[in-house]
C-alpha cells in the first residue's frame, strides 16, 4: 500500500464527512462560499454570517488535495513541496487543481480544453437541475470565462439564426414566383439576396436580444435586499445568469428558428403561424426557469422563483421601452 493511500484510509476512518476539520492541519484560509465570512475555527457546518449550511468535505477538502504531478495526497504536509516527486506547489493552486479535476467546466478548462469544456458546459447548462448538482458554491466562479461563454453564444447565434432565416425565405419563394400548378423551386440566384435579408433581420433582432440579456443581468444585480439578506456576492449571480443564457440561447433560439422555418415552408394555416410566432415567448420562459433553478439550488434563496420572474418582467419591460423610444 502506498503512503498516499494509507493517509487517505486513515483520514476516512478518523474523520467523517460531517465532522469539523482539524484546524491545526488546515494551512489555508477557509471562507464561506456565499458571503466570504471566515469559517476557520467553527465546529458546526453553518456560516454564522449568512446562515449557509454546507458539508465540511466541500468547504475544506484538505484530505482530497493531490499533487498535480504525481497525485500524492498533500494532507498533513507542513512544507509546500511534494515529498513523493519534489514538485513545489501552493495551497491555492492545489485547491484550484482539485476543483478543475472534478468539474468539466469551461471556467476551469478554457486554457487547456476550450472546445470540449465549452461543449460540456453547454450540455450541463441546458439541464440546470443537473448543472447545480455538479456545481456548488464551493467551486470558485471565474468571471472572465463566464462572460466568454455568453459572447460565444451571441457570436454563434449571429451566424446561425440569419442563415436559417435566409434559407427559409429562399425556400419560401419570396424571391421566386409560384407556378399555376404549384410551388416553384427558387433559383440559386435568389439565395444570396435571401441570406442578406436574413442578416438584415438579425441586425434588428440581435441588438434587442443583447439588450435583454444585459438588462437581465443588471436587474438581477439590483435586487439588493435579497443579496443583502443572503450576502450573495455578484460573481455568483453572474455565474447563474451566464449559464442560463448560454444554455437557453443556444438551444431555444435556433430551435425556434427551425419551427418558423417549418411553419413557413410546410404550413399555410394562419392559426399555425400565429402559434409559432407566439412560441418565441418560450425563450424568456426558459431563461426564467433556469434562473429559478440556479437561485434555488445554487444560491439557496427562499424566494428564488419570485426573483427570477420579477427580473425577466422588468428586463422585458425595459427593453420594450427602449425599442419604442428608438422607433419614434
Question: DSSP readout, 279-299?
Answer: GGGHHHHHHHHHHHHHHHHTS
The reported pLDDT for the residue numbered 44 is 84
pTM score: 0.75
- All three cell numbers of 204, joined, read 434588428
What distance lies between CA 279 and its chain's CA centroid?
23
> Which of 2, 121, 124, 160 has the alpha carbon at shortest distance from 73?
2
Distance (Å, whole) CA 285 – CA 316: 12
- All three cell numbers of 280, joined, read 418565441
DSSP string of 136-195, one letter each residue:
-TTS---HHHHHHHHHHHHHHHHHHHHHHHHHHHHHHTTTS--BTTBPPPPPGGGHHHHH
Which residues is 31 bridged to in the sheet? 38
With 50 as the cut, is the pLDDT of residue 324 above it?
Answer: yes
Among 3-17, 65-79, 146-160, the minimum mean pLDDT is found in: 3-17
Residue, of 182 and 310, whose pLDDT is higher: 310
- DSSP 8-state code for residue 20: P
pLDDT tens digit string along 19-32? 777 787 788 888 88
Distance (Å, whole) CA 301 – CA 304: 5
- Look up cell 474523520; give the residue: 15
- DSSP 8-state code for residue 197: H
Helix (H) or strand (E) holding 84: none
CA distances to 9, 21, 96, 324 from 14, rounded to whole Å, are 9, 11, 26, 66
Distance (Å, whole) CA 89 – CA 77: 11
Distance (Å, whole) CA 24 – CA 4: 20
The reported pLDDT for the residue numbered 7 is 39
With 70 as the cut, is the pLDDT of residue 215 above it?
Answer: yes
Amino acid at each position: 500500500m502506498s503512503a498516499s493511500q494509507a493517509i487517505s484510509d486513515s483520514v476516512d476512518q478518523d474523520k467523517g464527512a460531517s465532522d469539523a476539520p482539524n484546524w491545526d492541519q488546515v494551512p489555508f484560509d477557509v471562507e464561506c462560499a456565499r458571503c466570504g465570512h471566515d469559517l476557520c475555527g467553527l465546529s458546526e457546518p453553518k456560516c454564522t454570517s449568512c446562515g449557509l449550511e454546507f458539508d465540511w468535505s466541500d468547504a475544506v477538502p484538505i484530505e482530497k488535495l493531490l499533487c498535480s504531478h504525481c497525485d500524492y495526497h498533500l494532507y498533513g504536509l507542513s512544507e509546500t513541496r511534494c515529498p513523493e516527486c519534489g514538485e513545489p506547489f501552493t495551497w491555492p493552486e492545489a485547491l484550484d487543481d482539485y476543483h478543475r479535476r472534478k468539474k468539466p467546466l469551461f471556467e476551469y478548462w478554457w486554457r487547456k480544453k476550450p472546445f470540449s469544456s465549452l461543449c460540456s458546459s453547454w450540455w450541463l447548462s441546458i439541464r440546470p437541475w443537473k448543472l447545480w448538482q455538479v456545481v456548488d458554491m464551493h467551486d470558485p466562479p471565474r468571471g472572465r470565462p463566464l462572460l466568454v461563454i455568453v459572447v460565444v453564444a451571441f457570436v454563434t447565434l449571429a451566424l446561425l439564426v440569419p442563415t436559417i432565416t435566409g434559407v427559409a425565405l429562399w425556400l419560401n419563394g419570396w424571391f421566386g414566383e409560384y407556378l399555376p400548378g404549384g410551388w416553384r423551386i427558387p433559383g440559386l440566384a435568389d439565395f444570396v439576396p435571401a441570406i442578406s435579408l436574413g442578416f438584415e433581420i438579425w441586425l434588428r433582432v440581435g441588438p434587442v436580444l443583447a439588450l435583454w440579456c444585459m438588462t437581465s443581468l443588471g436587474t438581477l444585480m439590483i435586487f439588493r435586499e435579497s443579496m443583502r439578506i443572503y450576502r450573495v456576492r455578484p460573481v455568483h449571480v453572474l455565474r447563474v445568469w451566464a449559464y442560463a443564457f448560454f444554455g437557453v440561447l443556444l438551444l431555444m433560439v435556433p430551435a425556434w428558428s427551425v419551427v418558423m422555418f417549418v411553419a413557413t415552408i410546410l404550413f399555410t394555416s394562419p392559426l399555425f403561424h400565429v402559434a409559432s410566432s407566439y412560441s418565441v415567448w418560450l425563450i424568456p420562459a426558459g431563461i426564467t426557469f433556469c434562473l429559478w433553478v440556479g437561485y434555488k439550488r445554487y444560491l439557496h434563496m427562499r424566494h428564488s422563483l419570485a426573483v427570477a420572474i420579477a427580473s425577466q418582467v422588468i428586463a422585458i419591460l425595459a427593453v420594450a421601452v427602449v425599442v419604442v423610444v428608438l422607433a419614434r
